[in-house]
Amino acid sequence: MSRVFISYRRSDSAQAATRLCRHIGMRFGHDLVFQDVEDIKPGCNWLESIRQELASCEVFLVVIGPHWLVDADGRHRLADKEDVLRWEVCEALHRHATVLPVLVDDAHMPSSQCLPDELKSFALQQAMILPPKRWAAGIQRLMERVCDLIVPRATDMSLEQAQQMLYDLQMKSIDSLEHGRAADALALAQKSQSELDRALPLYPEDAILKVTRGYLYKNEAMALMRLERQGEAETALNQAENVFRTMLDERPKDASAWNGLGSVEAVRGHLEKAHEYIDEALKIAPDYPAALQDHEMILQHLGRASCHAPHAASKSHH
């Protein structure tokens, strides 16, 4: 079960909620966060699925936009006793989870006078703000708060150990793929994701671990393509792209994220787009080894000469 539940109105804040979900998933693992439109499978009883997730979550994030309380037609949404959001918030307030309002798109916290009797205590919850023009700074503060709530402070795994373990697994996966053992490569990439889910919540702001998640999805996709599982491969590439774009959402000048986007487009066969993204990485960090290596490979495939000095090949994108 998920430990972070994201409650939101699709007509009010779906884009912000999805964006928030990606930031949490990048740091803590996507299995840790629940967003109904993404995580309730077709054919499932949606009410029962939500009830189960509410029972297990530790942090209940309520994403509040301008029309969370009153819609564009002036209807008071929470006045309806059948309103799903009213039920979700009420359930969360009566459970052990920390209820944390998140204000987006310049929304304000509703006063207790505007809330039904069973939700009046919700107005006393301290909210966090994600300002449209200062989203990255707001996300940073929110992630620190979520980390404090769900991550144990004591651990026997150092950051260096986590990085080395994941690097070793990646190298084994790449080696398996290069030697025609696609099934082994896929299993190792998936094992790496599981290990990352265990390690990254302990060090959620480490740039190496964050970018590793994107490359692991890309490695999964390459193995799946060798196994002729194209639909699953494209899903994995989309997940990789989401990780890299989420990183750029926080730090637009992150060379590793730009290079990651380039590597995804290269796997898709979009070499011109890949070249554009990798060039962006090199503008930011001209001596970035992984970008130099990928730049050379892309130009070779495009049949062009490079204006960058040749650089020793490196399999690591750290």
- 3-class state of residue 73 by DSSP: coil
* Predicted pLDDT at 315: 46
Residue 141 maps to a domain = yes
Q: What is the pTM of this model?
A: 0.74
The side-by-side arrangement of strands in the sheet containing 33-35 is: 33-35, 4-7, 59-64, 98-104, 128-130
Are 21 and 137 in a shared domain? yes
Q: Which two tokens stand for residue 142?
A: 């929110």
Assess contact for 98 and 60: CB atoms under 8 A. Answer: yes
Phi first, then psi, for residue 71 (nearest 5°) are -80, 180
Are 9 and 133 in a shared domain? yes
Q: In the chain, how many domains are there? A: 2
Are 196 and 171 in a shared domain? yes
Each residue's pLDDT, cut to its tens digit, for the chain (318 residues) gives: 568 999 999 889 999 999 999 898 888 777 778 876 554 555 566 677 788 888 878 899 999 999 999 888 888 989 888 888 998 999 899 887 899 999 999 999 999 999 999 999 999 999 999 998 899 899 989 988 988 887 665 456 788 998 999 999 999 999 999 999 999 999 999 999 888 887 887 888 888 999 999 999 999 999 999 999 999 999 999 999 999 999 999 899 999 999 999 999 999 999 999 999 999 999 999 999 999 999 998 988 887 655 554 333 344 454
Going by the DSSP 8-state scheme, the letter that residue 103 receives in this structure is E
Q: Which two tokens stand for residue 294?
A: 């990928």
- CA–CA gap between residue 13 and residue 82 (Å, rounded): 20
- 3-class state of residue 78 by DSSP: helix
Are 123 and 252 in a shared domain? no
* Predicted pLDDT at 41: 54
Residue 308 maps to a domain = no
Are 9 and 134 in a shared domain? yes
Are 205 and 275 in a shared domain? yes
Neighbour count for residue 160 (Cβ, 10 Å)? 8
Are 179 and 222 in a shared domain? yes
Residue 183 maps to a domain = yes
Residue 315 maps to a domain = no
CATH number at residue 261: 1.25.40.10
* Amino acid present at 289: P
CATH number at residue 118: 3.40.50.10140
Residue 318 maps to a domain = no
Are 145 and 166 in a shared domain? no
Residue 307 maps to a domain = no
pLDDT in tens, 240-259: 999 999 999 989 999 999 99
Are 134 and 185 in a shared domain? no
Are 129 and 185 in a shared domain? no
* Predicted pLDDT at 269: 93
Residues spanned by the domain of 107: 4-150
* Predicted pLDDT at 29: 75
Closest C-alpha to 114, from 72, 83, 73, 68 = 68
> Do β-strands 33-35 and 59-64 pair in parallel, antiparallel, or remain unpaired?
unpaired
Count Cβ neighbours within 10 Å for each residue of 222-240 and write b for 16 or more, e otherwise: bbbbbeebeeebeebbebb
Residue 312 maps to a domain = no
Assess contact for 251 and 136: CB atoms under 8 A. Answer: yes
Angle between helix axes 289-302 and 255-268 (nearest 10 degrees) is 30
Phi first, then psi, for residue 33 (nearest 5°) are -120, 140
CA distances to 17, 72, 151, 229 from 132, rounded to whole Å, are: 13, 20, 27, 39
Residue 316 maps to a domain = no
Are 103 and 186 in a shared domain? no
Are 187 and 128 in a shared domain? no
What is the widest separation between alpha-carbon atoms in the chain? 70
Final residue belonging to a domain, choices 107, 125, 150: 150
